[in-house]
Amino acid sequence: DYILLLGVLLTGAALAYTEVKFTPLGTAWSNHLLVMSLFAAALAVRGDSRVVAGVALSSFAAWMGVSASPLERAFWFSGDAAGAVRLNAAITGLLFVGLGYGLVRSGRKAHFEPVAAHLGWLLVLSAILAGVGDQGAARLGLFVVGAGLAAMAFWRGRFPLFGMGLIAAYIGLSALVVAGVRDAAFGFLWFSATGIAVLVGLLMAQRAMRERA
């Protein structure tokens, strides 16, 4: 796996050097990310490497974020680059989650599913989290989506996704509470008490999942 990963990373470095030095693609330089994604995906399937599959998906997400944002700004997010990037991240994340589900359903490379699912949900939650500071709807959305993910992951015994969802729900709930109660002393007490509660909840959930398995 690591030799294959090294080869992919060296190829990516060579492409990056070529683009910086000679700029063969000009303003379309982001297509190098797509090329790297397809190249890494082919090697991941051929070499049966989940590590390289993660590189392929990450490169694809980067390509989506860089190349598709101008088009989205032109049609839906005029002048709002941050909104376009968040939408891209959410769509790409859902695409990865769907890819993982499809791999399991088809029975082909089903062991790649955790890579796609973890990265996909991370992108979705990060997209919502990016708007928490400015939008009340994003705070509520982060809480709802995080709580739903945590519940689903607990039921299926998937602790990494459970932890991701629980922390996202906690951040969303905390943002709602802090925005509603603007008091420094209350904020200190809230984070002191709930932070410990979240940690205890994670430990208890992990133990419950292990016993159930």
What are the tens digits of pLDDT across the range 76-93? 555 566 777 888 899 999
Specify whether the CB–CB gap between 51 and 1 falls below 8 A. yes
Q: Is residue 176 part of a domain?
A: yes
Task: Answer yes or no: is pLDDT of 166 > 80.
Answer: yes
Residue 36 lies in a domain: no
Residue 75 in tokens:
């049609």
Report the pLDDT value the prediction gives residue 121, as an integer from 0 to 100.
Answer: 97
CA–CA distance, 94 with 127 (Å, rounded to integer): 11
For 116, how many CA atoms within 13 A lie in the half-sphere containing its CB?
20
Inside any domain, residue 29? no
| Residues 11 and 35 sit within 8 Å (Cβ to Cβ) | no
89 vs 28, more confident: 89
Cβ atoms 43, 4 nearer than 8 A: yes
What is the pLDDT, as a whole number, of residue 212? 86
Residue carrying the six token digits 């208890």: 204
Tokens of residue 29, six digits: 């330089």
The structural domain count of the chain equals 1
Question: Is 113 within a domain?
Answer: no
pTM score, whole prediction: 0.88
In the block, tokens 């944002």 appear at 69
Is 58 inside a domain boundary? no
Q: Could you tell me if residue 166 is inside a domain? A: yes
Residue 103 lies in a domain: no
Asked if the structure places residue 185 within a domain, the reply is yes
